[in-house]
Chains A and B, each alone.
Chain A
């Protein structure tokens, strides 16, 4: 298993850079990963990442549709906050596994 160091903390990641142990994640680490992705994190980013992390911890599948039911932001804003592939980027920065969802 690969390891990476963010904000002075060494964390376990898979070959694509996704956390294998979400409990190692901190907000400071998120800021560093986001920098690699060219994103400057705002409170909105953190709010939706918290939603994604909670869903993951509860064992619920993540989908782009679920963002609309988050009560935090809508899907359009989600695409703006994490340009390109938002669900993949957001989960990577939020320290949870890459979603296996097709929708």
Chain B
């Protein structure tokens, strides 16, 4: 289909590290790569967990303070239940199981797919300094650690969009 103003470049920012935050970014990013759209993904603050070798495949979802969370069957998950030890791990395990059924890959494999298609992954310099991470802590797929200014520079161009997930 011919469009008058096609999306030519997508620049995603992921600042949170819960399963659903990271996957929203990765699915949007991989989807853009699949459409042949130039894709940059910038991870910052807690979003850095998604590109840390030791944490990327161990993300959790929040069970406290998450009013949209439902129990199997559709009943709301009472916030008080969220404080039971193991509840967060269990819920996260279930989420990952449901995603696997839809052929949604683990974070590390998702990054493989995005980079294989030409997508680029970046870490935020300020957050990296703040949390005292080093380049070698990150996945090999992280091509650079950027300042905000550098990120905006590479986000430039006609048909380019910046999306804060």
Contacts and interface: CB of A to CB of B under 8 A. Distances in A.
Select the residue from B1, B27, B36 with max chain A CB neighbours within 10 A: B36
Interface stretch (A27-35, A43-51, A78-86): A78-86
B118 interface: yes
B116 A103 contact: no
B77 interface: no
Given A65-B113, A74-B116, A79-B118, A86 B105 contact: no
Given A16-B1, A65-B109, A103-B103, A85 B34 contact: yes
Contacts of A84: 36
Interface string B84-119: 000000000000000000111100010011001110
B71 to A, nearest CB: 26
Size class of the A contact interface (CB-based, 8 Å)? 20 to 34
Give the interface size class of chain B: 10 to 19
Interface string B3-29: 000000000000000000000000100
Interface string A50-81: 00000000000101111010000011100100
B35 interface: yes
Contact of B113 (A75, A85, A101, A102): A75
A79 B117 contact: yes
Contacts of B36: 83-85
B103 A65 contact: yes
Given A65-B113, A102-B27, A103-B104, 4 more contacts: A64-B34, A76-B116, A79-B118, A85-B36
Interface of A: 16, 61, 63-66, 68, 74-76, 79, 83-88, 101-103
28 contacts: A16-B1, A61-B103, A63-B103, A64-B34, A64-B113, A64-B117, A65-B103, A65-B105, A65-B113, A66-B103, A68-B113, A74-B116, A75-B112, A75-B113, A76-B116, A79-B116, A79-B117, A83-B36, A84-B36, A85-B34, A85-B36, A86-B34, A87-B34, A88-B34, A88-B35, A103-B27, A103-B30, A103-B31
3 closest Cβ contacts across the A-B interface?
A: A84-B36, A76-B116, A85-B36
